């Protein structure tokens, strides 16, 4: 029997009453088919010249389409009984029901009705949804909690883009937003003002989904309803992104990159996709799109911000590359040089992003040298050339480390931090009671970036040390005494680098309490940074996202002992349980896996 048609949603209140919360299944790590991968066989190939871009963007999670079954049944490609709130077929099969998508009425209506001329004369669903989103954002500009307390939506003409600008201008003043990924969200008003077709742009909807996700609480029914609304905005934004990519206008490239990147941030918040570790399908899509554009100049300030955000976000992918991932980097060496030169000309240039560009260049260069050194066809001349290049890179790294070590000394007093002792019951596993307290959340984020860059410097140095050690073991012309002395010196340098990494890891872990809240003494109220929004309520979710990635880096990098890795993994688990950040659970599992491998290596060495 054909399922009954859904009734049209005429108001936000009725929309909330008829929607069930979206519940994501947690599949085991060895699951070969992720929960929301069903869309791959449904979409036609993009009409884009670059096959890599088309292949990557086809993998992006897409909740649209006519099917109304639950996520689990659709992933298994079986008939769903569509029972609410949970599918009985999943319950009988002892499976976790993935919940249902929120479909707009136009996707559940009879397809033949779209051929009616009367139907075509009515306002499009996108225009109705745009008005709904605009009204929601207008209320949110006064207080985010009003989204959940509205009982009805009044009919009014809210199409004026100034409402969007007023709302976004309030949000981008948040210190958390200003410091996230180089502050690229501060470019939102500029991008909105330059939209050629605002009614068909995916960016406002993508950003709305992101903001609804990171500001609202998710533990009560109202928060889950807001998460469902965010999912609807996300689905529509993804549809518009796909349409924009298919008929791409070169002048809208910045809009495409921004929309896909924001969708990637939304995925980091909401999805525990164990098939993508430090990345996700949206971020891969943004990277593939950038590679097809062959960026040669960064004249515009907005594009510099966006590309800087991509550089800051892909910094963490370097640690995947160190483990044998040979995927091409998002930028070439020449493009990184060009971006660094353009950024250095700005009056208020971010020094840390300049160092990030430089270290990424060294990362790419080291990868090229390693490919030559570990080639099965390498011979003495190549080994000698590799050693010379490794020595040159070590000198460059030493120079950069000296420069970046001066960064804390150049900070004003409002950029310095102090350390307090936490009550023992408020610490993670009681391993340490130290907590670094910062004057502002922006300062805390800068210190996390600084420590991450210092860890990357030591990781690059360790890679260069291994190239030198390989040349000493392989190059037979070296005298035994000279070779032994050089190897002993390298071993000492590697031990020093490991010690520095452990100290930086300790400092990153000691900063987490500031980001998610802390108590100065037992029984005292929870303390948050001085910047509060809204109504003295700190945006902990956004702040926790800033420290999750440095925690991951400190947990998987070489030189950290097993106890520290497990400490880091528990802090990431805490971020996931307290804030509901799906990516933190994935990162915690990766850190535990690194600890298990280290224990296995230690066991093998003792046998």
Helix/strand/coil (H/E/C) assignment for every residue in 329-394: CCCCHHHHHHHHHHHHCCCCCCHHHHHHHHHHHHHHHHHHHHHHHCCCCCCHHHHHHHHHHHHHHH
Domains in the chain: boundaries: 15-110+122-149+156-309, 390-606
pLDDT > 90 in the chain, percent: 9
Q: Are the C-beta atoms of residues 266 and 542 closer than 8 Å to each other? A: no
- Give me the mean pLDDT over the 521-547 stretch: 65
Q: Are the C-beta atoms of residues 578 and 219 closer than 8 Å to each other? A: no
Residue-wise pLDDT for 258-303, tens only, equals 888 888 888 777 766 555 556 666 666 776 666 666 665 576 777 7
Rounded Cα distance between 362 and 329, Å, is 12
- Give me the mean pLDDT over the 325-354 stretch: 80
Query: Which stretch of 143-157, 209-223, 395-409, 577-591 has the lowest confidence by average pLDDT?
Result: 143-157
Ranked by mean pLDDT, the top range of 10-14, 300-304, 537-541, 603-607 is: 300-304
Query: Which stretch of 91-100, 139-148, 567-576 has the lowest confidence by average pLDDT?
Result: 139-148
Q: Are the C-beta atoms of residues 582 and 590 closer than 8 Å to each other? A: no
Q: What is the pTM (predicted TM-score) of this model?
A: 0.68
Residue-wise pLDDT for 481-515, tens only, equals 667 777 888 888 899 999 999 999 999 988 888 88
Residue-wise pLDDT for 101-158, tens only, equals 655 444 333 433 333 333 434 444 444 444 444 444 434 433 333 333 332 233 333 4
Identify the residue whose tokens are 């020094």. 351
Size of the chain, expressed as the number of residues it contains: 607
Within 8 A by CB and 6+ apart from 501, the residues are: 455, 458, 459, 554, 557, 558, 559, 560
Residue 10 structure tokens: 């005429």
Please, what sign has the CA dihedral across residues 50, 52, 55, 61? negative
Q: Are the C-beta atoms of residues 91 and 66 closer than 8 Å to each other? A: no
- Angle 221-246/125-140 helices, nearest 10 degrees? 130
pLDDT of amino acid 142: 37
């Amino acid at each position: 029997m054909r399922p009954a048609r859904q009734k049209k949603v005429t108001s936000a209140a009725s929309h909330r009453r008829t929607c069930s919360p979206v519940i994501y299944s947690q599949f085991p790590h060895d699951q070969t088919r992720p929960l929301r991968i069903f869309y791959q066989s449904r979409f036609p190939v993009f009409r884009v010249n670059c096959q890599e871009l088309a292949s990557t963007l086809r993998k992006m999670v897409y909740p649209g389409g006519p099917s109304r079954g639950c996520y689990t049944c659709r992933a298994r490609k079986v008939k769903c009984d569509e029972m609410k709130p949970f599918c009985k077929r999943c319950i009988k099969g002892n499976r976790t029901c993935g919940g249902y998508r929120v479909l707009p009425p136009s996707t559940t209506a009879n397809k033949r009705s779209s051929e009616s001329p009367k139907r075509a004369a009515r306002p499009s669903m996108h225009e109705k949804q745009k008005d709904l989103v605009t009204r929601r954002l207008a209320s949110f500009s006064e207080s985010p909690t009003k989204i959940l307390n509205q009982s009805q939506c009044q009919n009014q003409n809210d199409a004026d883009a100034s409402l969007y600008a007023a709302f976004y201008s309030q949000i981008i003043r948040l210190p958390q937003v200003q410091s996230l990924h180089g502050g690229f969200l501060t470019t939102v008003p500029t991008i909105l003002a330059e939209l050629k077709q605002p009614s068909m742009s995916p960016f406002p909807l993508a950003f709305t989904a992101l903001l609804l996700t990171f500001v609202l609480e998710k533990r009560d029914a109202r928060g889950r309803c807001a998460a469902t609304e965010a999912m609807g905005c996300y689905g529509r934004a993804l549809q518009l992104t796909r349409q924009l990519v298919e008929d791409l206008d070169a002048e809208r490239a910045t809009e495409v990159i921004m929309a896909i990147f924001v969708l990637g941030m939304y995925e980091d918040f909401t999805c525990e996709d164990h098939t993508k570790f430090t990345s996700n399908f949206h971020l891969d899509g943004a990277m593939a799109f950038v590679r097809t554009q062959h960026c040669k100049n960064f004249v515009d300030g907005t594009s510099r911000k966006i590309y800087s955000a991509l550089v800051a976000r892909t910094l963490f992918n370097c640690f995947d590359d160190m483990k044998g991932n040979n995927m091409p980097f998002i930028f070439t060496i020449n493009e990184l040089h060009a971006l660094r030169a353009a950024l250095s000309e700005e009056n208020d240039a971010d020094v840390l992003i300049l160092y990030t560009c430089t270290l990424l260049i060294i990362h790419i260069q080291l990868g090229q040298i390693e490919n030559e050194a570990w080639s099965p066809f390498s011979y003495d001349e190549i080994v000698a050339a590799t050693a010379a290049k490794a020595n040159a890179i070590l000198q460059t790294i030493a120079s950069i480390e000296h420069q970046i070590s001066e960064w804390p000394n150049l900070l004003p007093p409002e950029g310095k931090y102090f350390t307090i002792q936490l009550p023992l019951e408020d610490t993670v596993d009681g391993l340490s009671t130290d907590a670094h307290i910062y004057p502002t959340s922006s300062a805390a984020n800068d210190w996390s970036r600084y420590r991450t860059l210092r860890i990357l410097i030591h990781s690059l140095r360790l890679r260069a040390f291994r190239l030198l050690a390989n040349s000493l073991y392989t190059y037979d012309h070296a005298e035994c005494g000279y070779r032994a002395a050089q190897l002993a010196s390298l071993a000492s340098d590697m031990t020093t680098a490991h010690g520095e990494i452990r100290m930086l890891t300790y400092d990153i872990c000691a900063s987490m309490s500031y980001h998610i809240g802390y108590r100065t003494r037992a029984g005292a109220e929870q303390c948050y940074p001085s910047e509060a929004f809204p109504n003295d309520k700190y945006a902990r979710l956004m702040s926790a996202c800033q420290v999750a990635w440095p925690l991951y880096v400190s947990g998987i990098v070489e030189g950290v002992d097993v106890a520290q890795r497990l400490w880091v993994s528990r802090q990431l688990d805490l971020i996931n349980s307290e804030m509901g950040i799906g990516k933190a659970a994935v990162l915690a599992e990766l850190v535990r896996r690194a600890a298990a491998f280290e224990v296995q290596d230690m066991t093998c060495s003792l046998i």
